[in-house]
Amino acid sequence: MKFRPIAAAFGLALLGSAAQAQTVFTASSWVPPTHPLSVSQKQWCDALEKESAGRMKCNILPKAVSAPPGTFDAVRDGLADISFTVDGYTPGRFLTTQVAEFPFLGDNAIATSVAYQKIYSKYFAPMGEHKGVKVLGVFTHGPGIIFNSKKPVTHAADAASLKWRIGGGNINELTKLLGWNTTLKPATEAFELLSTGVMDGTLFPDESVSAFKLSMIKHATTFPGGLYNTSFVFMMNPGKYDALSAQDKAVVDKLSGEFVARTYGVNWERADDASVNGAQKAQGVARIQASEAFINEVKAKQAPLEDKWAAAVEAKGLKNPKGVLAEFRAEIAKVK
């Protein structure tokens, strides 16, 4: 009988030790909880907790630790353990990732995301452009579309008469060559810019009309494969990862790469479809497809940008960059 209190105390100590051993990651999002970026991050966190039998979990913060352009550095410096960002929000910082920003890549966020992850792992990850963070995965959104509140945009000259919010990356350079009046701003500022008339339109995937409540949008111009795309990185603080046990590192690794790309791609595809058939339909957005002449205008301006990209990444050590781009496009066509 005398041993029972000791045994009970020992059991409580073991329970306390187990509780202390749980790893909690702070996760930050700079978009609303219903946005596919936040939804995907939450699903990843749920999978992490399940796969680790509760040894790891996320504390999703109620407010972002940084504005979108500062998120990479925030994760690197430990202000958050997990988050995502747009590579193009910091112009000139990432070169290889621009391959995922080119026009006409694909009409499906799942295919472009999974294919991008494969190309990234094979060619870009070894080059270390995301040095300072543990990359969990890369992905893209759905095809980029021209949205505005003023008039149909049937060719480049129509767009040149309006003011545009854009997110950066290749589309920033492309619109300059097309002669458009653009301003580089994060997606989170789109509503204020358009609702106050500071901007007439924005370049976005379909989901953003619904996600950012852009009720002023009345016109959309689509392109086969999208006018542009966006490279995202989902990342973890490297110190947090390094502190994990081998068992828990294996869980994180299992949930990295294609698992991340497919998770984000699936949620973005669903959000695109819901926006087209929900908010856009309700507010009477008139959708037109770019004419062949418009598409050719874009192709003519894009060609030197791809040459410029190829020269820049080749100088950094990527062999046969045009071949890598061709392989990327082929991978997109293969993904189911």
pLDDT in tens, 55-96: 999 999 999 999 999 999 999 999 999 999 999 888 889 999
- CATH number corresponding to 24-95+109-142+231-271: 3.40.190.170
| Spatial contact of 200 and 81, defined as CB atoms under 8 Å apart | no
| Spatial contact of 206 and 142, defined as CB atoms under 8 Å apart | yes
Distances (CA, A) of 272 to 144, 166, 215, 264, 287: 11, 18, 16, 12, 14
Residue pointed to by tokens 């006409």: 104
pLDDT in tens, 217-226: 999 999 999 9
**Interval 266-275 mean pLDDT:** 96
Cα 290 from Cα 222, distance rounded (Å): 6
Q: Encoding tokens for residue 260?
A: 């991340």
Which residues, 6 or more positions from 323, have their beta carbon under 8 angstroms from its beta carbon?
Answer: none
Ranges for all domains in the chain classified under CATH 3.40.190.170: 24-95+109-142+231-271, 145-228+284-334
The H or E element containing residue 289 is strand 286-289
Beta-ladder partners of 236: 82, 134
pLDDT in tens, 10-50: 454 444 444 447 999 999 999 999 999 999 999 999 999 99
Q: How many CB atoms lie within 10 A of CB 315?
A: 10
DSSP for 249-260 reads: HHHHHHTSTHHH
Beta-ladder partners of 60: 27
Mean pLDDT of the chain: 93
Statement: 145-228+284-334 belongs to CATH 2.60.120.260: no
Q: Per-residue confidence at 4, pLDDT binned at 50, 70, 90? A: low
101 closest CA partner among 121, 90, 116: 116
pLDDT in tens, 159-194: 999 999 998 889 999 999 999 999 999 999 999 999
Say which amino acid occupies 331. Answer: E
pLDDT in tens, 59-69: 999 999 999 99
Q: Per-residue confidence at 3, pLDDT binned at 50, 70, 90? A: very low
Cα 88 from Cα 124, distance rounded (Å): 16
